[in-house]
A and B are shown apart, each in its own frame.
Chain A
Amino acid sequence: MIRKLEGRTWKFGDNINTDLMIPSFALAEPEEKQPKYCFSANRPGWVDLVKPGDILVAGNNFGTGSSRPGAKVLKSLGIICLLAESINGLFLRNCVNYGLPALPCPGVFSSFNEGDIASVQLEEGKVVNLNSGRVLATTALPNMLLEILAAGGIVPLLEGKGLLDKAR
């Protein structure tokens, strides 16, 4: 079971791509430094404002681009959930795999002003804007994906099954 997720929202538009989350030049930096470049091209300064427990609300095709681990960067910045009109297929995989709850939710973009508090019930596919009281019902994620999310992502899941080497 995944607990009910609640947090302050940040809004992003359509087609937010993975190069914006991890610019090419940041790939050369050590992993722990990469998050500070997140959205530096489209929203400089945002990484200093985002707080652990925040939620992203976005437009269509969020996460288009490459397989670089943008979901991991968002998670390490403390984002607890991604809600978007639609989510790029590869990016949704990455979110689930890194244990970042992500839900495609048509109508979400116009239902939130930035800063509104969102409450998300993943198993039911229910999203509520606690400021306006508006309720959005969307399709819940399939069980297979909820299980990976509940385990905390792929690594804990495989670890639990004893399939990973402890030390290299």
Chain B
Amino acid sequence: MSSGMTMSEKILARHSQRKEVRTGDLVECDISAAVVLEIDFSLFPWPRKVWDPDRVWLVADHAIPAPTITVANDLVRLRQFARKAGIKNLIDVGRHGISHVTLSERGAILPGEILANDDSHTAAVGALNCAGRGMGALDMLYILCIGRTWFPVGPTVRFIVDGKMPPGVYARDIIHYVAGKYGAFPNHNVEWFGSAIQEMDMSGRFTIATMCAEISADFALFECDETTLNYLKKRPQHPFEPVAPDADAKYKATYHIDVSNLEPQIALPDSVPNNIKTISEVKGIKIDQAYIGSCANSRLEDIKVAAEIVRGHEIAPWVRFIITPGSQATYLEAVEAGYVATLVRGGAVVTNSTCGACFGGSMGLIGEGETCISAGTRNFKGRMGSLNSRIFLGSPAVVAASAIKGEIADPRDI
């Protein structure tokens, strides 16, 4: 008798019309939805005909409104292509957001589905029990033409996260802790279980799923539970069928984590895996910039945490504190909740929703010798600007506390 399947394997089996898939298989799957970013249309020749225009989302997110002529021209082509191919799902300036944030807000992808997106943080949708994996521009071209693509089936590992989250500690700290303790999981799927995950809101699950790209995971899946269904209730939907792991699913490894005594976890510059310290080991390092944004931490909950910490305080005079909501919808909610006013009063800059500073794209770059504490996704050398700058990563609470103190700070001390 063969053993059961993990969530990742079940989704791949379903979409490749197979009874089962196993580690080492290469499967060809149909795609539930495809996201193509603005930049792609200058990278490849156009398809004669798109396989299913209603399943394609064209998203302008990396640097908008256009900061350069190159980007402006990419956007021209994006709009031309939408018209030519008859694609209605065009996410353009004014209704925009980071693809991983805004697509889930719009109910574009649902549990049990497969999302293809030409961006390395596509695993983010795993929070919704949906399999997403970063692709390249040419993968997207193939999918636009044919609606299918191939996936190697990697081994799956699982994390069972139990315990009660201490105050001042967030989902971001859990994934940093995992990256510090267990390193990277290239070509592996990772799945998340346990009481701390069950109690976590969708925002936290999105943070973890997104950051799984930094530990080089393929799919990063969460179960579909009450929290997921409540999140989806507020959004447009089509019929969907979640997956749960079989009772005898074969995991390559199981890691147990107890968060009860977890401290804020900080990634040191240049990489995330095996490069994490606790806040007490790094606090006091002087900063020039603090940034909350990116597909990992730009949701309303993240902005709320920042606003609550900043309320009644001033940003240190030598610090630029930049907050970039993940979508226009989130931006509006943050305005209506008063968070934007609190942050601006404290001396922060709340920007338009785009990838922006996360990849040193359109704004918020850091210069020679500067240090940034960031809740963005990546800290590669030069990611946010100068090759001679340093990026530390931490939760939005750490970033906000640091912005006030002007040095890397523990939010529990504010």
Contacts and interface: CB of A to CB of B under 8 A. Distances in A.
Contact of B138 (A25, A86, A154, A165): A154
B47 interface: yes
Contacts of A154: 138-139, 141-142
B358 to A, nearest CB: 10
A64 B141 contact: no
A67 B46 contact: no
Chain A's interface size range is 35 or more
A164 to B, nearest CB: 5
Contacts of B172: none
A157 B150 CA distance: 15
Interface stretch (A45-53, A88-96, A126-134): A88-96
A89 B186 contact: yes
A71 B43 CA distance: 13
Interface residues of B, number: 46
A90 B26 contact: no
A41 B387 contact: yes
Contact of A67 (B28, B134, B187): B134
Most-contacted residue by chain B among A15, A86, A90, A165 (CB, 10 A): A90
Nearest to A95: B136
A158 B141 CA distance: 9
A24 B118 contact: no
Interface stretch (B257-265, B276-284, B375-383): B375-383
Contacts of A61: 184, 186, 216
Contacts of A161: 145
Contacts of A19: 378, 380-383
Contacts of A144: 26, 28, 150
Given A24-B382, A67-B135, A165-B48, A88 B186 contact: yes
A89 B120 contact: no
Nearest to A161: B145
Interface string B372-414: 0000001011111101000000000000000000000000000
Nearest to B187: A89
A78 interface: no
A71 B138 CA distance: 11
Interface in B106-155: 118-120, 133-139, 141-142, 145-146, 150, 152, 154
B23 interface: no
A71 B150 CA distance: 18
A77 interface: no
B318 interface: no
Contact of A163 (B145, B150, B387): B145
Contacts of A94: 136, 138
Given A23-B382, A24-B383, A60-B186, A90 B133 contact: yes
Given A67-B135, A164-B48, A89 B360 contact: no
Interface string B169-191: 00000000000000010110000
B66 to A, nearest CB: 12
A141 B82 CA distance: 36
A91 B383 CA distance: 19
12 contacts: A19-B381, A19-B383, A24-B361, A25-B360, A88-B187, A89-B154, A89-B216, A94-B136, A97-B139, A97-B142, A159-B45, A164-B48
Interface of B: 26, 28, 43-49, 68, 70, 118-120, 133-139, 141-142, 145-146, 150, 152, 154, 184, 186-187, 216, 218, 271, 273, 359-361, 378, 380-385, 387
Given A28-B68, A157-B142, A165-B46, 7 more contacts: A71-B136, A88-B186, A97-B138, A98-B138, A145-B150, A161-B145, A164-B45
